[in-house]
């Protein structure tokens, strides 16, 4: 027989070869969304794949050596919306290459060394909105065959070798064009006639980016009466004088937003001269942004005179000095200072400013008060600021503030409870280091606040009134903080409008039963990354609107949440991934419930067992409840078995001697009795036994043969064995000599108890009691059984007078005679044996 490994060695390469031959089984593309989205990036395709569903809408074919696009290349994909052909080494695009793609809205051709672009290349693309033709060797816009793409909104022809600013005639057809990126080309001169066609486009709302073209000349009036949405000129000038004349050349332009400056890595100007901006006075600009000039001093107000009437100013990555010196009556409504350098925190004072964004700046470590009476929006995030007394109206000089972002700063001391800032709707402190936030009701006056973020602020919640006053609050984020004793107390009582609550990473172990009672509108509760051991601690009854409960990354073993009244709503999505589920029979009803209500859970396959060890890492869905039924039976059967064995052992232990007796009875059952009576007595009474009992009974007529331990027990055998084998088994009767000593001796009582069993088992039975001396009643009562027997049976009492003794012996003999086999042989036998027995003592 052929060994398996050899068979596999032949079959596997053969199958691989076959599958290579059949293209439909060879699928190099990744299915991102079935039938909709396919990703075939860098899989060495030489032609358009034909094994992808025709319903595909997104197709990424980038980084494949396609090289040549013939006509109707994509006729198999009439539904395409997005087609990415980046870096496909395409050199030739034939007529009608994209014919049939009537729904295509985005076409990406970046990085193809196109040499031949047929005039009808883009025909048929009747819905195209975005064309990315970056780095495609385009020498000019003139012969770019896109004149019919009337739906085009965005055209990116950056990084080509266009050397003319001439907008060809066909632009008059592109009436929807909103964005044209001509950056990184070789445009040097801009003439009025080049831009003529733009005047013909009705409702032109174009954003034009000309960055990174080394511009030498702009004809004055070139932009006159042109209306643009945005014009970007960054890193365009290699001298400050050229910059100045070019800005003057923009005179007459009406532009919503003008962006000037350089790029971090593309610096052409050595120094920046404020006079370069003088030409801005002849432009109509609403928003102005300037970025990456080395030193941007505002010491001379003249520089900014032309900017006084702007509505929005944005300064990015500049070294700014003397911002405070600007006059208070500038009309700016919005000021943005991003990633700038300052000598100190700028103490501003503008009457009109409504929005102030001061973020990611340097050298401004301590907050200084400012005076902005119209301010509504304030973003002071990411400055490493320390703030000695936050926050009140005096700090910002406004009572209109609605938005305040102080996130990612340094220490912020909460010492004032937002006095005069009652209009606040949005307040963000996350990743700053809050002090004293939990000492009093800091937010008490913020009755209009809708959003509060104090995540990761090092806050330790000890005061239960911390959120008092926030009656409008909808979103509360407080992840990454601490609670006293890791216990979530009842602190949300006034937040009746809350819809979103983030309590993740708060080290929570326990939750107050009433914590969520007052949150009827809550939709999302995030308790992930805590240390909860059970879901049952969460009170859900009142959470009628809950949509998502995220308890992932906790230590939950199981839950009773499956009880219908405990589940907040049948629409709630539960995220219980990454917990420590115990997949044991004890929790089988929970596990079974998870299986039947799979749709309630997020990524139910990610809910894995932590215990027992053989289930570790397996999904809770793989738990089989049948094993429980079996093990239940096994457990109960073995429990009963163990109990019985135990019982038997106890009984054996307790009645060991009785059993020995029983075994003996079987053995000797039919045998002859050697002795007439076995005498049980206390050794203290031995004198009486020797002198009275033995003498009278063994030497009388007829003689009785007594079993006496001092005489008849076999030496070398355990006393108990002797008692049973010699005493009881070989005797017809038992004589019990009751006395004070007898009652007090454990051995005697033991012998007496055995005697009772013996009497019970043996047919030739009879216990004869002799009361040797009066025993105290109280002592006798301790031996309940004996006491009862003595009460019920007649017994012999030893008397000290002669008459009494005479009667005693007669009665005793009579009792012993009862049942004695009376045959002459036996009598003779006994008589013969008698001396031997006596002699053997
Ligand atoms: C994908 O399309 C094929 C054929 O049109 C169809 O049979 C299949 O069910 C679709 N698959 C999905 C996930 O929609
Ligand atoms: C633009 O480049 C073409 C060649 O590609 C050249 O003939 C033409 O003179 C250039 N125009 C300018 C203004 O540099
Ligand atoms: C503008 O569109 C019309 C109609 O689609 C077309 O006939 C004309 O050639 C286009 N103009 C240019 C310059 O392509
Ligand atoms: C102009 O275009 C910009 C986007 O480029 C858009 O935000 C703005 O609303 C548009 N304006 C008009 C009037 O269409
Ligand atoms: C504004 O334009 C006029 C002519 O159009 C010109 O005389 C004046 O110098 C320009 N002002 C600035 C600051 O460039
Ligand atoms: C700003 O507007 C005011 C009032 O409309 C006007 O007097 C002033 O000349 C304007 N300044 C500039 C630089 O346009
Ligand atoms: C709570 O929200 C409701 C509906 O959004 C709104 O009508 C009500 O005024 C809010 N209550 C408070 C105290 O803001
Ligand atoms: C809960 O918080 C964690 C950690 O911050 C986050 O990853 C997760 O997306 C959040 N869940 C929800 C439902 O917002
Ligand atoms: C969910 O609960 C609503 C009422 O609260 C009920 O009408 C609906 O049928 C339930 N849906 C399921 C799938 O149980
Ligand atoms: C839990 O599931 C929700 C809902 O899908 C999701 O938003 C959240 O990010 C998940 N949590 C984590 C920690 O991934
Ligand atoms: C085990 O699961 C089945 C359904 O999969 C269910 O019908 C049965 O009642 C379960 N048994 C126990 C003991 O829960």
* 220 CB neighbour count, 10 Å cutoff: 16
Q: Which atom of ligand 3 is nearest to the CA of 147?
A: 14
What value does the mean pLDDT take over residues 677-699? 83
With a 6 A CB cut-off, is 631 part of the ligand 11 pocket?
Answer: no
Tell me what pLDDT residue 680 has.
85
**Residue 57 CA to ligand 1 centre (angstroms):** 13
Residue with tokens 């912020």: 412
Residue with tokens 């070869």: 17
| 245-248: long-range pairs with CB below 8 Å, 24+ | 245/217, 245/218, 246/215, 246/217, 246/218, 247/276, 247/277, 247/278, 247/279, 247/280, 248/220, 248/278, 248/279, 248/282
**Residue 570 CA to ligand 9 centre (angstroms):** 6
Tell me what pLDDT residue 285 has.
94
**Residue 309 CA to ligand 6 centre (angstroms):** 6
Lowest mean pLDDT among 591-595, 760-764, 806-810: 760-764
What value does the mean pLDDT take over residues 377-389? 93
What value does the mean pLDDT take over residues 698-705? 80
Q: Is 265 exposed, middle or buried (0-12, 13-18, 19+ CB in 10 A)?
A: exposed
What ligand has the least distance to the C-alpha of 282?
A: 5
| Distance in angstroms (rounded) separating the CA atoms of residues 554 and 215 | 61
Tell me what pLDDT residue 57 has.
96
With a 6 A CB cut-off, is 309 part of the ligand 6 pocket?
Answer: yes
What value does the mean pLDDT take over residues 546-574? 81
Tell me what pLDDT residue 575 has.
92
Q: Which atom of ligand 11 is nearest to the CA of 629?
A: 13
Tell me what pLDDT residue 210 has.
97
**Residue 229 CA to ligand 4 centre (angstroms):** 7
Mean pLDDT over each residue of the chain, to the nearest integer: 85
585 in Cβ contact with 629 (< 8 Å): no
**pLDDT of 667 strictly over 80:** no
| 8-state DSSP, 202 | T
Tell me what pLDDT residue 634 has.
79
Pocket test for ligand 11, best of 592, 593, 629 (most atoms within 8 A of CB): 592
With a 6 A CB cut-off, is 458 part of the ligand 2 pocket?
Answer: no
pLDDT digits (tens, 9 = 90+) for 29-52: 899 999 999 999 999 999 999 889
With a 6 A CB cut-off, is 524 part of the ligand 8 pocket?
Answer: yes
What ligand has the least distance to the C-alpha of 625?
A: 11
Contacts of 15 (CB under 8 A, 6+ apart): none
Tell me what pLDDT residue 719 has.
76
**Residue 522 CA to ligand 7 centre (angstroms):** 13
pLDDT band at 325 (very low <50, low <70, confident <90, very high): confident
pLDDT digits (tens, 9 = 90+) for 769-788: 888 777 777 777 777 777 77
| Distance in angstroms (rounded) separating the CA atoms of residues 744 and 723 | 19
Tell me what pLDDT residue 624 has.
85
Closest residue by Cα to residue 90 from 54, 56, 48: 48
With a 6 A CB cut-off, is 140 part of the ligand 2 pocket?
Answer: no
**Residue 390 CA to ligand 7 centre (angstroms):** 28
**pLDDT of 523 strictly over 90:** yes
With a 6 A CB cut-off, is 602 part of the ligand 10 pocket?
Answer: yes
Lowest mean pLDDT among 169-173, 225-229, 468-472, 516-520: 516-520
Which protein residues touch ligand 3 with a CB less than 6 Å away? 147-148, 169-170, 173
Q: Which atom of ligand 2 is nearest to the CA of 189?
A: 13
**Residue 105 CA to ligand 4 centre (angstroms):** 19
**Residue 677 CA to ligand 5 centre (angstroms):** 149
**pLDDT of 91 strictly over 70:** yes
Q: Is 620 exposed, middle or buried (0-12, 13-18, 19+ CB in 10 A)?
A: buried
Tell me what pLDDT residue 669 has.
53
The residue contributing the CA closest to ligand 1 atom 13 is 34
- For residue 784, the number of C-alpha atoms closer than 13 Å in the C-beta half-sphere is 0
What ligand has the least distance to the C-alpha of 149?
A: 3
With a 6 A CB cut-off, is 308 part of the ligand 6 pocket?
Answer: yes
| 8-state DSSP, 673 | P
**pLDDT of 304 strictly over 90:** no
**pLDDT of 376 strictly over 50:** yes
The residue contributing the CA closest to ligand 2 atom 12 is 163
Tell me what pLDDT residue 365 has.
79
The residue contributing the CA closest to ligand 5 atom 10 is 282
**Residue 163 CA to ligand 2 centre (angstroms):** 6
Give one DSSP letter per residue of 707-744, joined into a string: E-HHHHSPTTS-HHHHIIIIIITTEEEEEEEE-HHHHH
Contacts of 372 (CB under 8 A, 6+ apart): 348, 349, 350, 353, 356, 396, 397, 398
With a 6 A CB cut-off, is 773 part of the ligand 11 pocket?
Answer: no
Pocket test for ligand 10, best of 479, 550, 576 (most atoms within 8 A of CB): 550
Tell me what pLDDT residue 764 has.
53
What value does the mean pLDDT take over residues 81-85? 97
What value does the mean pLDDT take over residues 87-111? 95
What value does the mean pLDDT take over residues 156-178? 95
pLDDT band at 398 (very low <50, low <70, confident <90, very high): very high
Pocket test for ligand 5, best of 282, 284, 308 (most atoms within 8 A of CB): 282
**pLDDT of 295 strictly over 80:** no
The residue contributing the CA closest to ligand 5 atom 14 is 279
**pLDDT of 833 strictly over 60:** no
Tell me what pLDDT residue 227 has.
94
pLDDT band at 27 (very low <50, low <70, confident <90, very high): low
Closest residue by Cα to residue 220 from 250, 197, 241: 250
With a 6 A CB cut-off, is 479 part of the ligand 8 pocket?
Answer: yes
pLDDT digits (tens, 9 = 90+) for 196-209: 999 988 888 999 99
Tell me what pLDDT residue 8 has.
54
Pocket test for ligand 6, best of 308, 329, 330 (most atoms within 8 A of CB): 308
Tell me what pLDDT residue 834 has.
38
What distances in angstroms separate CA 674 from CA 469, 668, 678, 763, 829, one per listed residue? 105, 11, 10, 15, 11
Tell me what pLDDT residue 826 has.
44
**Residue 36 CA to ligand 1 centre (angstroms):** 10
The residue contributing the CA closest to ligand 5 atom 1 is 282
**Residue 502 CA to ligand 7 centre (angstroms):** 20
Lowest mean pLDDT among 190-204, 363-377, 523-537, 616-630: 616-630
With a 6 A CB cut-off, is 306 part of the ligand 6 pocket?
Answer: yes
pLDDT band at 75 (very low <50, low <70, confident <90, very high): very high
pLDDT digits (tens, 9 = 90+) for 14-25: 554 444 444 444
What value does the mean pLDDT take over residues 459-488? 94
**pLDDT of 539 strictly over 70:** no
* 732 CB neighbour count, 10 Å cutoff: 23
What ligand has the least distance to the C-alpha of 144?
A: 3
Q: How much of the chain exceeds pLDDT 90, in percent?
A: 48
Note the pTM of the prediction, 2 decimals: 0.72
The residue contributing the CA closest to ligand 10 atom 2 is 575
């Amino acid at each position: 027989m052929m060994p398996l490994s050899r068979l596999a060695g032949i079959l596997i390469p053969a199958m691989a070869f076959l599958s290579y031959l059949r293209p439909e089984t060879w699928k190099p593309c990744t299915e991102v969304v079935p039938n909709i989205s396919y990703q075939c990036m860098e899989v060495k395709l030489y032609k358009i794949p034909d094994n992808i569903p025709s319903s595909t809408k997104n197709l990424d074919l980038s980084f494949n050596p396609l090289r040549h696009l013939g006509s109707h290349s994509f006729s198999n994909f009439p539904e395409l919306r997005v087609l990415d052909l980046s870096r496909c080494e395409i050199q030739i695009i034939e007529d009608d290459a994209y014919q049939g793609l009537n729904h295509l809205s985005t076409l990406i051709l970046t990085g193809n060394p196109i040499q031949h672009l047929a005039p009808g290349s883009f025909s048929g693309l009747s819905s195209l909105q975005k064309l990315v033709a970056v780095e495609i060797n385009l020498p000019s816009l003139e012969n770019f065959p896109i004149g019919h793409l009337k739906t085009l909104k965005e055209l990116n022809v950056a990084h080509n070798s266009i050397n003319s600013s001439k907008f060809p005639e066909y632009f008059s057809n592109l009436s929807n064009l909103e964005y044209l990126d001509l950056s990184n080309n070789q445009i040097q001169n801009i003439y009025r006639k080049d831009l003529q066609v733009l005047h013909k486009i009705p409702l032109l709302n174009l954003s034009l980016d000309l960055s990174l073209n080394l511009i030498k000349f702009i004809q004055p009036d070139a932009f006159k009466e042109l209306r643009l949405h945005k014009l970007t000129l960054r890193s365009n000038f290699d001298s400050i004088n050229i910059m100045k004349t070019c800005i003057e050349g923009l005179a007459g332009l009406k532009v919503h937003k003008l962006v000037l400056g350089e790029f971090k890595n593309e610096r052409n100007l050595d120094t920046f001269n404020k006079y370069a901006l003088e030409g801005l006075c002849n432009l109509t600009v609403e928003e102005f942004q300037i970025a990456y000039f080395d030193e941007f001093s505002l010491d001379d107000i003249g520089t900014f005179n032309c900017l006084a009437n702007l509505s929005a100013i944005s300064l990015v990555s500049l070294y700014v000095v003397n911002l405070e010196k600007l006059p208070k009556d500038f009309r700016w409504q919005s000021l943005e200072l991003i990633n700038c350098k300052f000598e100190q925190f700028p103490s501003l004072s503008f009457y009109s400013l409504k929005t102030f964004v001061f973020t990611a700046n340097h050298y401004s470590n301590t907050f200084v008060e400012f005076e902005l009476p119209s301010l509504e929006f304030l973003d002071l995030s990411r400055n490493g600021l320390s703030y000695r007394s936050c926050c009140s109206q005096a700090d910002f000089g406004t009572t209109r503030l609605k938005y305040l972002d102080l996130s990612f700063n340094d220490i912020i001391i909460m010492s004032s409870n937002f006095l005069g800032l009652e209009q606040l709707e949005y307040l963000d402190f996350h990743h700053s280091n809050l002090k004293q936030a939990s000492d009093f009701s800091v937010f008490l006056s913020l009755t209009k606040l809708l959003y509060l973020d104090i995540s990761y602020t090092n806050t330790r919640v000890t005061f239960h009134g911390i959120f008092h006053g926030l009656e409008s609050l909808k979103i509360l984020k407080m992840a990454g903080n601490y609670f006293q004793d890791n216990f979530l107390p009842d602190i949300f009582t006034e937040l009746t409008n809350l819809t979103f609550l983030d309590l993740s990473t708060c080290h929570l172990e326990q939750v107050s039963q009433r914590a969520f009672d007052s949150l009827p509108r809550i939709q999302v509760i995030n308790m992930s990354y805590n240390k909860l051991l059970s879901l049952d601690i969460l009170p859900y009854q009142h959470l009628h609107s809950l949509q998502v409960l995220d308890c992932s990354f906790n230590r939950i073993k199981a839950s009773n949440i499956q009880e219908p009244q405990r589940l907040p709503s049948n629409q709630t999505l539960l995220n219980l991934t990454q917990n420590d589920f115990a997949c044991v029979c004890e929790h089988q009803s929970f596990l079974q419930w998870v299986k039947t209500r799979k749709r309630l859970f997020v990524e139910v396959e990610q809910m894995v067992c932590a215990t027992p060890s053989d289930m570790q890492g397996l999904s809770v869905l793989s738990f089989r409840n049948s094993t429980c039924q079996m093990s239940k039976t096994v457990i109960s059967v073995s429990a009963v078995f163990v109990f019985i064995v135990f019982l038997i052992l106890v009984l054996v232990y307790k009645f060991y001697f009785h059993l020995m007796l029983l075994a003996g009875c079987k053995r000797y059952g039919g045998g002859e009795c050697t002795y007439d009576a076995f005498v049980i007595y206390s050794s203290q009474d031995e004198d009486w036994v020797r002198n009275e009992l033995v003498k009278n009974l063994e030497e009388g007529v007829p003689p009785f043969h007594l079993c006496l331990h001092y005489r008849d027990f076999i030496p070398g055998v355990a006393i108990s064995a002797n008692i049973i084998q010699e005493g009881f088994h070989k005797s017809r009767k038992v004589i019990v000599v009751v006395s004070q000593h007898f009652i007090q001796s454990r051995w005697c009582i033991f012998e007496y108890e055995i005697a009772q069993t013996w009497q019970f088992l043996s047919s030739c039975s009879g216990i004869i009691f002799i009361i040797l001396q009066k025993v105290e009643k109280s002592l006798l009562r301790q031996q309940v059984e004996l006491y009862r027997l003595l009460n019920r049976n007649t017994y012999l009492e030893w008397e000290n007078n002669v008459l009494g003794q005479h009667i005693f012996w007669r009665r005793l003999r009579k009792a012993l005679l009862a049942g004695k086999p009376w045959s002459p042989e036996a009598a003779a036998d006994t008589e013969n044996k008698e001396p031997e027995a006596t002699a053997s003592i």
